[in-house]
Amino acid sequence: MIKLYHGSNISIGQMLIEDYGYDIPTAMHTLYTSNTYRKLEDERTGLYYQSAVYLYDILKQELSTK
């Protein structure tokens, strides 16, 4: 299992806080329970090579369809 670099987690969490008004626990829960994060942990997707901004764009798309 690949873990997203801690700094990227923080960056994505901060973007969720800024854009959605989430508190820290909600932002991190949203990230860690998302399909985006599940795909990120799948080494075959190659998403772990991507920037936090790119990953956040994918997460925003996911959240907009919920």
Residue 14 confidence (pLDDT): 95
Residue 2 confidence (pLDDT): 45
Whether 11 is covered by a domain: the verdict is yes
Whether 1 is covered by a domain: the verdict is no
Count of domains in the chain?
1
22 three-state secondary structure: coil
Question: pLDDT digit string (tens) for 8-25?
Answer: 878 999 999 999 999 999
Whether 45 is covered by a domain: the verdict is yes
Residue 66 confidence (pLDDT): 78
Q: Residues near 15 by Cβ (< 8 Å), separated by ≥ 6?
A: 52, 56
pTM comes to 0.84
Which comes out higher in pLDDT, residue 32 or 48? 32
Range of the domain at 38: 6-64
